[in-house]
Amino acid sequence: MKAILLAGGQGTRLRPLTLNTPKPVVPIFDRPFLTYQIDLLKQVPEIDEVVLSLNYQPEAIAAVFGDGSEFGIKMRYVVEPEPLGTGGGIKFASRGIDGPIVVFNGDVLTEIDLGAVIRLHRERRARATIVLTPVENPSAFGLVETDDRQNVQRFIEKPQPGDITTNRINAGIYVLETATFDRIPDGVSWSIERKYFPSLIERGETFLAFDYPGYWIDIGTPEKYLQVHHDILAGRFRAAPFRDQPAPRACVSPTARISPEATIESPCFVGDDVTVEAGARIAPLSVIGRGARLDAKAVVDGAVIWPGCVVGPGATVQNAIAGRDCRLGANTRVGAGAVLGDGTHLTDFTRA
C-alpha cells in the first residue's frame, strides 16, 4: 500500500520562516516536520512506500529525505510541472498505483490510528474515507455532515450561524481508491475538497467519515507552529524526543555548554552545541536550536529559536519565533507573536 504526502505548497502562511526552508523540513525541535507524519505512516506495516508530491523547492526536500532509508521507509518524489490543486496533485502522484492509497495534507500533525481508518474503509468497501475532527469554532471552517452510519452527506462551506449543524471538519487525511480518479481531468488544477468529494455524494458512492476526537493541528501559521512545540512540551501530544518522558519534560543535549550560573527551567528543549552563558535563563516552553547561543543574562521565554541564532547580553525573546542565524543585539526585546526571518539582525536595544 502506498501513501501520498501533499507537500507542494509554498508555505505562504508561515513566511518569512519558509522563504529559505520549505515547510516539509521546517524544524519541530530538531527534526523536519515531515518526519512526524512518516512516523505515523510507519505504524501501518502494509504501507511500503511514501510518495511526496512536491512543487516548491523540491531539491531542498529531497536533499533531506533522500530515498527514505535513513527514516526506515521507501520514499520517492513526484514534482508537479505546475500547481495542480489537491485533486490534480493526488492524481498526478498516484500514476501507476492501483487500489487504495493513504493521503495526508502536508500541514497536519496528529496521533490518529491510521490502521483503524484503513480497516473501516475496507470493511465497508468504501470508494473514499475522510477523517473528520471536531473544532471549537465551527463558523471558521467548512463543515462535513454525516448520517448515523458514517456516510458523508454534505459539505457546508463558510457556514452562517443558522447553517451550523456539526462541529466536524476535514482533517486532511484520506483513504482513496485510485479507480475513482478517472473523474479528475489531467493537467489542470482541480480541488479534491470542492469537486472530487462532492462527486462521490452526487453519484451515490460509498463515502465514509472516520471521526477522530484526539490531537490534531494544522501547523501552517506561526501561531500554530509555536503552539505545537508548547503542546509537545506540555504532553498534550506525544512525540519524539519527549514521547516516553514523564512531566516536566526536558531534553538538554549532552553537547550543550551551559554555565553553572545559568537557569534552565522545564519543560524545554536545548539542542546540540548550544551555548548558555552565566546569568542567562531558559524559561518553560522554550526551544533552543542547534548551535544557538544565549549570552550573559539573556532570557528566552516560551519562544522557538532556530539553529545558529545569537541572543545578545540582556536580550529577551518571549513567545516569539526566530529563524536561522538571527543576531539579536544587547538588551533587545522581542515580544509575543513576533516572527523573525532567517538572518535577521536587531541592533542593541531594539524592540520587536
Specify the range with the lowest mean pLDDT, choosing from 27-36, 66-75, 160-169, 204-213: 160-169
Specify the range with the lowest mean pLDDT, choosing from 37-41, 139-143, 185-189, 318-322: 139-143
Q: List, in order, residues 6 or more apart from 141 with CB less than 8 Å away.
A: 135, 169
User: Above 80 in pLDDT, residue 161?
Assistant: no
Domain segments of the chain: what residues? Answer: 2-218, 247-346
- Domain 2-218 in CATH 3.30.2420.10? The answer is no
pLDDT at 137: 79
> At residue 91, what are phi and psi to the nearest 5 degrees?
-65, -45
User: Above 80 in pLDDT, residue 49?
Assistant: yes
- C-alpha cell, 338: 513576533
With 0-12 CB in 10 A as exposed, 13-18 as middle and 19+ as buried, what is 78? middle
Q: Which three-class secondary structure state does DSSP give residue 163?
A: helix
User: Above 90 in pLDDT, residue 131?
Assistant: yes
Q: Are 290 and 307 in contact (CB under 8 A)?
A: yes
Q: Which three-class secondary structure state does DSSP give residue 70?
A: helix
pLDDT confidence bin for 347, thresholds 50/70/90: very high
User: Above 70 in pLDDT, residue 216?
Assistant: yes
Topology (CATH) of 247-346: UDP N-Acetylglucosamine Acyltransferase; domain 1 (2.160.10)
pTM assigned to the model? 0.90
